[in-house]
Amino acid sequence: MKIAISMWSLHREFYGGNLDVVGFVNWVAGTKAEGVELLDVFWKDFDVEGPKVLAALSDHDLQVGAYAVGNNFVVPCAEERARQVEIITRGVDMAKYFGTKVVRVFAGDLAEGIEFNDGRCWIVEGLQAAAAYAKKHGITLALENHGLLAGKGAQVQGIIEDVNSPALKATIDTGNFLLVDEAPTDAVKVLAPLAGHVHFKDFRLAKEGESPSYPALSGKRFAGTIIGEGQVGTKEVLSILKAAGYDGWLSVEFEGLEEEEFGAKRSIDNLAAALQSI
């Protein structure tokens, strides 16, 4: 297993105007990470930035572990769902451009007026279409556990089984399981055999008034924290992945309240130490 870091870990720096994708790659070069995860939301002008990012990756001997897109199939309009497929197919093209074999995808989440079974059916149909395109191009889509329709390990497993494509696996987001009241170690045991990518993220119970914090189904609230300093159980999760034969990327996704560069770098260091210890 190798450690990458998602640019989402420094999203406040980006939205504050202090960082672009090239700057992110240059920053990663000063850490222990061997790769990066790039996201479609961070491009300002891809025609200009894309070649510069490729050059920076080459200069620093960094790989792209995964390319991440933001899609949502839980919409009643068929034309809009077709557009969501196009978001993923563009992501596949971007993955090829950057030399990675993995595209992180979402399922979508429930909204007012949408029945659970309808939403799940749209997810399966959309991912079947997107996976067919990915398979043609030798790319694996990796579905993240996110939201009420695909938040639990068994929900992701069920969607992957129903899509029934070798081009669809799971992105295991270690922290998100806490938001659906599932122990990360239990969920990782379910999904480790299906893993195509891993988001390593840690959460702790939020203190009163802390912001941002995220509500769990139970009503508890969680705040992001540095990897190894929350409730995920870093070594236990790594041991489960290792036992299942997972040898792909571990992408740090820091969402803590600490200063981002400090928290992200410390997360990389803690994950590297834990990985070395198992």
| CA 199/CA 193 separation, integer angstroms | 15
Strands 214-215, 221-225: parallel, antiparallel or unpaired by DSSP?
antiparallel
The set of residues, in sequence order, having a beta carbon less than 8 Å from that of 188 and lying 6+ positions away, is 153, 172, 174, 177, 237, 240, 241
- CB–CB of 165/128 below 8 Å? yes
Residue with the two structure tokens 């198992």: 278
**pLDDT value of position 111:** 85
- pLDDT number for residue 85: 98
Residue 148 has pLDDT above 90, yes or no: no
On whether the CB atoms of residues 4 and 251 are closer than 8 A, the answer is yes
- From CA 112, how far away is CA 130, in angstroms rounded? 26
Q: pLDDT value at position 225?
A: 98
Residue 110's pLDDT is what? 85
**Which homologous superfamily is 2-277 in?**
Divalent-metal-dependent TIM barrel enzymes (3.20.20.150)
Determine contact, residues 269/3, Cβ cutoff 8 Å: no
pLDDT in tens, 23-34: 999 999 999 999
- Phi first, then psi, for residue 81 (nearest 5°) are -65, -35
Query: What pLDDT shows up at residue 7?
Result: 98
Query: What is the 3 state secondary structure string of the chain?
Result: CEEEEEHHHHHHHHHCCCCCHHHHHHHHCCCCCCEEEEEHHHCCCHHHHHHHHHHHHHHHCCEEEEEECCCCCCCCCHHHHHHHHHHHHHHHHHHHHHCCCEEEECCCCCCCCCCHHHHHHHHHHHHHHHHHHHHHCCCEEEEECCCCCCCCHHHHHHHHHHHCCCCEEEEEECCHHHHHCCCHHHHHHHHHHHEEEEEECEEEECCCCCCCCEECCCCCEEEEECCCCCCCCHHHHHHHHHHCCCCCEEEECCCECCCHHHHHHHHHHHHHHHHHHC
- Give tens-digit pLDDT for 215-264: 999 999 999 999 999 999 999 999 999 999 999 999 999 999 999 999 99
Q: What is the CA radius of gyration of the chain?
A: 18
pLDDT surpasses 90 at 276: yes
pLDDT mean over 48-69: 98
Mean pLDDT of the chain: 97
CA distance 192 to 4: 18
Residue 113 CB burial class (10 angstroms; 0-12, 13-18, ≥19): exposed
Q: What is the mean pLDDT of residues 49-55?
A: 98
124 pLDDT higher than 90? yes
Place of tokens 């992408």: 251
Share of the chain above pLDDT 70, in %: 100
Average pLDDT on 265-271 reads: 98
Distances (CA, A) of 61 to 43, 233, 235: 21, 31, 28
